[in-house]
């Protein structure tokens, strides 16, 4: 008479353990994958992707590659938990649209600018602003940027392919590229994504106007 309750309790605990195990997920190993496929793998498991760009170029790959993740692979998680994917891309700066990052691994409809039949047509491309902090170096130069033009002509992301030598100038170029608009590219009659080259030129102009407090006023009693 006293055995059955113990057996029943044991069965309940066993079922609870099985239920907990069923709800628990193992975070997959994502380091080394491009962020598009890493994002897809997490989405299939019901996990949420969050993206962070690292500061240093740690990957020679041409895609947006995951260089670290948090939590680590093998960690327990539940559906709805967030996994941070830290990625890097050569020349890519910290100017990108989070909601568009997963699309960056989808190169099925991307065509090289030099091979596309009908390249994007610029509608509005504003010059990059000259960073104030570079005036002390009398900097003049060029930053070679590229804008990823989507199927509808919107700019998904910007990157630097030839650095000006100054991060602030490169950042200004990318910020300007992101504000640009285009008529989309076409290849065999279909819209395609294209990296569009945008060189930005920075010209130093010396400010010859001195503040009024620093101007020398001639003594009217002195001879000219």
27-67 per-position pLDDT tens digit:
999 998 877 788 888 988 999 888 887 765 554 555 678 88
**Do 127 and 73 have their domain in common?**
no
- Out of 84-98, 131-145, 148-162, 195-209, least confident range: 84-98
Q: Is residue 51 part of a domain?
A: yes
Q: What distance in Å separates the CA atoms of residue 13 and residue 10, rounded to the nearest whole number?
A: 5
**Residue ranges making up the domain that contains 163:** 91-203
The whole-number pLDDT of residue 140 equals 96
Nearest to 197 by CA among 105, 117, 100, 120: 120
164-173 confidence digits (pLDDT tens): 999 889 889 9
**Do 149 and 176 have their domain in common?**
yes
93, 170 contact by CB (below 8 A) = yes
Q: Is residue 77 part of a domain?
A: yes
66-109 confidence digits (pLDDT tens): 889 999 999 999 999 999 988 876 555 555 555 555 556 555 56
The whole-number pLDDT of residue 111 equals 75
Q: What distance in Å separates the CA atoms of residue 88 and residue 166, rounded to the nearest whole number?
A: 19
**Do 83 and 99 have their domain in common?**
no
**Do 85 and 104 have their domain in common?**
no
Q: What distance in Å separates the CA atoms of residue 142 and residue 59, rounded to the nearest whole number?
A: 25
**Do 197 and 95 have their domain in common?**
yes
User: How many domains are there within the chain?
Assistant: 2
The whole-number pLDDT of residue 106 equals 59
pLDDT surpasses 80 at 200: yes
Report which secondary-structure segment, H or E, holds 124.
strand 121-124
The whole-number pLDDT of residue 158 equals 84
**Other Cβ atoms within 10 Å of 202 Cβ, number:** 20
**Do 30 and 76 have their domain in common?**
yes
Which CATH number characterizes residue 166's domain? 3.30.2420.10
Q: Is residue 218 part of a domain?
A: no
pLDDT surpasses 90 at 161: no
**Do 86 and 126 have their domain in common?**
no
pLDDT surpasses 60 at 123: yes
Select, from the ranges 101-105, 151-155, 198-202, the one with the highest average predicted confidence (pLDDT): 198-202
Q: Is residue 208 part of a domain?
A: no
Average pLDDT, the chain: 78
In our burial notation (b when 16+ CB lie closer than 10 A, e otherwise), range 73-85 reads: eeeebeeebebeb
Predicted structure pTM score? 0.59
């Amino acid at each position: 008479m006293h055995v059955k309750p113990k057996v029943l309790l044991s069965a309940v605990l066993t079922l609870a353990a099985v239920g907990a195990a069923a709800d628990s997920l193992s975070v997959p190993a994502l380091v080394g994958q491009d962020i598009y496929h890493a994002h897809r793998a997490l989405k299939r498991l019901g996990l949420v992707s969050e993206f962070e760009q690292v500061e240093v170029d740690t990957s020679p790959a041409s895609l947006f590659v995951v260089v670290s993740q948090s939590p680590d692979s093998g960690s327990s998680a539940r559906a709805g938990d967030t996994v941070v994917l830290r990625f890097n891309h050569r020349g890519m700066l910290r100017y990108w649209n989070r909601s568009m990052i997963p699309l960056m691994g989808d190169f099925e409809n991307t065509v090289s600018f030099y091979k596309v039949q009908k390249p994007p047509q610029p509608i509005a491309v504003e010059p990059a602003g000259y960073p104030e902090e570079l005036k002390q170096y009398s900097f003049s130069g060029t930053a070679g940027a590229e804008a990823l033009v989507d199927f509808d002509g919107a700019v998904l992301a910007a990157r630097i392919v030839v650095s000006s030598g100054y991060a602030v100038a490169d950042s200004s170029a990318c910020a300007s590229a992101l504000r640009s608009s285009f008529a989309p590219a076409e290849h065999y009659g279909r819209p395609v994504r294209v990296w569009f080259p945008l060189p930005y030129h920075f010209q130093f102009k010396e400010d010859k106007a001195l503040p009024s407090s620093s101007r020398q006023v001639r003594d009217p009693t002195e001879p000219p």
